[in-house]
Amino acid sequence: MNIYAKVSMLAFGVAIVSSAATVMALRSSDGDRMQMADTRVASQAASGSNDFIKVSQHSAVETDFTKAAESTINGVVSIKSYATPKMQQGGMQGFSDPFFEFFFGPQQRRQQPRQQQEQSQQLQPSGLGSGVIISADGYIVTNNHVIDGADRLEITLNDNRTFDATVVGSDPSTDLALIKIDADNLPVIPMGDSDALKVGEWVLAVGNPFGFTSTVTTGIVSAKARSISSATRSNRMGIESFIQTDAAVNPGNSGGALVNLAGELVGINTAIYSQTGNYAGYSFAIPASIVTKVMTDIKKYGTVQRAVLGVSYQELNPTIAKEHNITKVNDGLYVAEVVDRSAAMSAGIKVGDVIVAIDGVPTHNSAQLMEQLSRHSPGDKIKVTIVRNNEEQTLPVTLLNNQGSTSRVQASTVADLGCAFKKLSEQTRQRLKISYGVEVSGLRDGKFKDAGIKDGFIILAINDERVNSTDDVEKVYNAIMKTDGYDKVMFITGLYPTGKKMYYAVDLAD
């Protein structure tokens, strides 16, 4: 062995001995410090001093996500929507929705060359999303905005089988939709208890972001009963009581599953908070408690049986409390108006009351109130706890629908108008000097006849929207029926064949 080898071996040996000595010294030092800490804690306990805090050791939190991922990934599907693009002067009509752009970023719009306009009238891919299988016979829940405006829905299962889906029903107010495919023995994600979720609890988001299928991300519950209208400066979302998480959710995750570590569905992923269109820290899911109610109603009635309390309110804040001398509570919903013929008026709720609980569940903010009411149907009896004149009391309330009754409603269709519509002939257009409109024909008993409309009437506009086909009438009708307002009315402008202009108000309420 040469001198260089001997030196190298010696240096290596010294390094090993030095490292071992260092480790032993550190262990000895740690042991000494622990012994000193124990002695000092015991001394402090004996002397009664609180200068030091004893730290307890707990078992590690369960963070094995594999079982939850394996049991749920097959229950989430990919949804591809197809639509026929609408044309307008200068090219294809771009999608413009301030709410959508707030969460998913500005959408690029391109002018379409004339030679491509004819081709673009055919079905084209219009969006990607996710859905959750909720029954083995093919029922799938997703977001309303995933399927809205689609002419065809293509569903791809995790095993790569594809199906066309039909829309059973939708509810824009909660941004939920129920669709169905013709299949059996499908894997189902069991419904969980979103009420039992705790802030800080681990959850998984399962979906198809950016078209990447079968993607699982994880995070914790950051907040519950979250409203995001204040962030969007809009009320577009309707009923809001979201589960906020920091699980990575991106475009394409919409309609996918939020599951707990037991593999149970606790929410439907709906939106992200982002000004770029991509994940930026927080995502929002519709709680399973709301999903269950909405899906059950749609499956049974074709529409949601929505209960209405009938009040306008503001979240209580120091300014309102000081102005009205409210000292009993610091939060709740301050009643600013009670609607005539409403459940609230019948129960004796008054302006100035502060709603603090529904059936014993605190309502610190509007999201919590909406979540509690969204679980109920017209005719249900609840207990509303209020603070009046700084005294708490509980009032029994029978909830009503938005027409002021307890009756259940069935899904309505444009056929309820009681007529057919036909395209105007070119001769009629020229004679009346009009370029658009549809003619009422085959009038029978229904909403139009009740309003006084007669056969041959030519509809030019409904609620200031021009109509030129049966599809146009249906779209306006469906838009009116999807609103949650008390008034569902068609304001119609049109002509009779004589040229006489007429106006009608058609009441669509049940």
**Contact in structure between 456 and 496 (CB atoms under 8 Å):** yes
Give the pair of three-digit tokens for residue 203. 């959850």
Evaluate the CA torsion angle 80, 86, 90, 96 in order and state its sign.
Answer: negative
The span from the CA of 173 to the CA of 484, in Å, is 8
Instruction: Please say if 359 is a catalytic residue.
Output: no
- DSSP character at residue 378: T
Give the pair of three-digit tokens for residue 422. 């036909």
Burial status of residue 433 (CB atoms within 10 A of its CB: 0-12, 13-18, 19 or more): exposed
**DSSP code string of 73-125:** GGGEEEEEEEE---EETTEEPPP--HHHHHHH-PPP--PPPHHHHHHHTS-EE
Least Cα distance to 463 among 484, 487, 431 occurs for: 487
The span from the CA of 80 to the CA of 254, in Å, is 12
Residue 73 three-state SS: helix
Name residue 113's amino acid: P
The span from the CA of 404 to the CA of 400, in Å, is 5
Least Cα distance to 225 among 97, 371, 123 occurs for: 371
Residue 441 three-state SS: strand
Instruction: Please say if 376 is a catalytic residue.
Output: no
**CB proximity list for 451: less than 8 A, separation 6 or greater:** 504, 505, 506, 507
Give the pair of three-digit tokens for residue 416. 């309820």
Determine the length of the chain.
510
Output the furthest CA–CA distance in the chain (Å, rounded).
Answer: 119
Residue tagged active-site, from 78, 130, 145, 342: 145
Residue tagged active-site, from 170, 254, 366, 412: 254
Name residue 133's amino acid: I
**Contact in structure between 93 and 138 (CB atoms under 8 Å):** no
The span from the CA of 42 to the CA of 84, in Å, is 77
Instruction: Please say if 151 is a catalytic residue.
Output: no
Residue 461 three-state SS: strand
The span from the CA of 470 to the CA of 437, in Å, is 10
Q: Provide the b/e sequence for 266-276 (b: ≥16 CB within 10 Å).
A: bbbbbbbbbee
Residue tagged active-site, from 81, 170, 173, 175: 175
SS (H, E, C) 220-270: EEEEEEECCHHHHCCCCCCCCCEEEECCCCCCCCCCCEEECCCCCEEEEEE
**Contact in structure between 182 and 209 (CB atoms under 8 Å):** no
Which residues have a catalytic role annotated? 145, 175, 254
